[in-house]
Structures are given as C-alpha cells and as structure tokens.
Amino acid sequence: MEILLGTSALEPRSYLVTVSEHLERLGHEVLVFAAERLAAPPELRVVGVERDLPLAPDAIYSQDAEAALLLADLYPLTSQLFVAHGDREDVWLPPQLAGVVARVVVLDDRTADRARAAAVPHELLRLRRPVDLDRHAHRGELPERPRARLALEGFSDYRRGLLQRALAEARIEADEDGELAIGRGQAIVDALAEGLAAYVYGDQGGDGWVTPQRYERVEADGFRGRAGPWATTFEQLCDDLERYDPAMGPANRALAGAHDARVHAQQLVEALQALAPRRDPVAAPLRELARVVRVEAASSRRAEELGAAAAAARGRAGDAERRAGEARARTDELAAKVAELEQELADARNRLEELEGQRGRGVRALLGREGKVPSSEG
C-alpha cells in the first residue's frame, strides 16, 4: 500500500518516526503530509500541499484534526484512519463532521472515553503506545542507587520544584542517561523498553512506580499521572523514591512487550486495509474548517502559555510578598532591638553620671577628713 500519514506540524514526532519505519519494514510506501512548511527529519519522507503530493494514496492515517480536514479535501474519495493522541487538546480528537474519518485509533482508555462522548460517533480501535524494542534496547542490571532521567516538558514550576526537592532529599542526581525515568506518556513507554525503573509523574500529580500490579491501571490512563491520587505531595514522593528497587528493570522490560512497534504496525495495516473507499466527497468547506482548527489550536496554545506565565508570575509575586513580609517583620524586630539598645545606652549614661557624681562627693569627703579641703573663707 501507499500510505499517507497526515500531520499539521510533524507532531508527535516520535510516533511518526516509529510508525513510518515499521510500516516501511512491512514493505509499504510511506509518506508524511505536513500542513506547515517544516524542515524534514532524515527519518521521514515529508510532502506538502505544494510539493510532492502522491496522486492517489491507498490509505490515509491522520494525526490531528487539521490534517484530517485538509486531506479529506485533497483526496475526497480516500477513507481515513485517525489516531487520537490525547484527551486534553481538541486538535488531537477527530473532526466532528460526518464522513471525514472512518475509524479512530485510541492509545489509552481515557481518550477512548472522550472520543465516545463526541457528537459524531466513530468506531474505535484500542492500541497501545508503540516503542521500538530494538532502538530502545534493554540496559541490563540497574544500580542500587540510580540516577534520574527527567522528562518534565510542560510542567509547572511548582511540580518541577516539588520533584527536585524530593530527589535532593533522596540523594538522587539528575542525569540524561539515568536508570530511573520520571515523567509521563511516551517517555515512560521508552523507559519500560530499556528496562529502567519508571515513575509516572504528571503536571496534575502522579501515579508512582510502574509495576506489574499497577501497569494496567496506569497504561489505561496513558501513563499521564491521572489514574489515581498517588505521589501528589512532597512526603509521598520522598517515600516512593525510598522504595526504588533494581528488580523493577527486568519486570518493566517484560511489560514493554505489549508495546512492540512491530505489532502496532501490523494492527494498523489490518485497520487500513479494512477501510472502504468513500462513495461521495464530504459536502463541507473543508479547507476553511481546517483553517479554523489551526487558528483555534494556536489560540489555545497561546492561552495555555499565557496561563502558565501568569501562574508563574503569581508564584513569583507570592514569593516576593512573603520575602517582603519577612523583611518587614525583621525590620520591626530590629527597630525594637535598636530602641531597646538606645534605652540601655541612656540608662548606662545616667548610671555613669551618677557614679561620676558619687565619686566626686566621695573624694571631697575623704579630703575633708584629712584636713586638705581648701577653705572657702578669705
């Protein structure tokens, strides 16, 4: 088959690279459509509206709503498989327009629940997040005291600070090549494949260690840190880090087998082959809708960035206010101390004057007894 993967901006990059490579290993022709003009990574064969578009691909696999709408306009009779990469941003969910998408791949149960709640129903195909088990090879035995590999992109300063304090308390150093992976999403799946200890920690909290007992629950949430109330406090983080066990490594490598990219690619091929061609084009202004999706997504990203910046500013303002309050309290304390010292100094001066007066009277009395006091008479 000639398969066209559709994206607006070559994201999520790791998924595109993994899926493209494994579909090509199966002998399929794979091209990646990008709505934006972007530098293509060497692993991907990228085409666009104005360059190298295939005449009639056998199948389309869209990664976001904008790409799905554009490709439905470019290839009006080619059915699309769509992958929903998450439940938080609307651009990752299929367009709510009948006929654009034939079937939807979901990578976790939380996203599946949101897709089912949408106004336009779609048949869902539940797959697991893929990982190349050869590229992410098993690292071998883990040390008794690990180093931490942190994947904290998009995290708030509060969540970062909480984790860094806990790592310092546990005397665990951060290292890009560490044996303990802390993060969420694909970073955790990659860690499982490498046989690392994996700790799910998200921007809304955390689910703690990935273990065979917890795996199904945290995988259903997409390793996003929202499956349960674990590891949301500094104390809980410290307690969990103390429970690190090198035996987590081989157990996690075994769990990674469920995420084998080769199996994922095979499942995609089956789903793409099962798609029936469209009978009629979608009767809608698809390019205009794609533009609206693009603008809305950009506005949402800016709003999120501004919200994060505002939250950070509020945090800094709160810190400054606390420091100012502490400084005011210290100033009041010092002022009271100065007043106390000034009073002590005044009391000391008064006492000194009294002593000087007493010493003068004492000398005159002594001289008088010895008949040495000068007479005041002429």
Work out the average pLDDT over 311-336: 79
- Domain membership of residue 350 (yes or no) is no
- Domain membership of residue 139 (yes or no) is no
- Domain membership of residue 374 (yes or no) is no
119 and 267 belong to one structural domain: yes
103 and 60 belong to one structural domain: yes
10 and 126 belong to one structural domain: yes
264 and 155 belong to one structural domain: no
97 and 47 belong to one structural domain: yes
Chain segment 99-147, per-residue pLDDT in tens: 999 999 999 999 999 999 999 999 999 999 999 999 999 999 999 999 9
78 and 194 belong to one structural domain: no
17 and 100 belong to one structural domain: yes
What's the domain range around 35?
Answer: 2-130+260-284
Chain segment 44-58, per-residue pLDDT in tens: 999 987 778 999 999
Of 240, 189, 243, which is closest to residue 215 (Cα–Cα)?
189
- Domain membership of residue 181 (yes or no) is yes
81 and 155 belong to one structural domain: no
Q: How many domains does the chain have?
A: 2
- Domain membership of residue 135 (yes or no) is no
Total-model pTM: 0.79
CATH number of the CATH domain containing 38? 3.40.50.2000
- Domain membership of residue 310 (yes or no) is no
- Domain membership of residue 39 (yes or no) is yes
- Domain membership of residue 189 (yes or no) is yes
- Is the per-residue pLDDT at 304 higher than 70? no
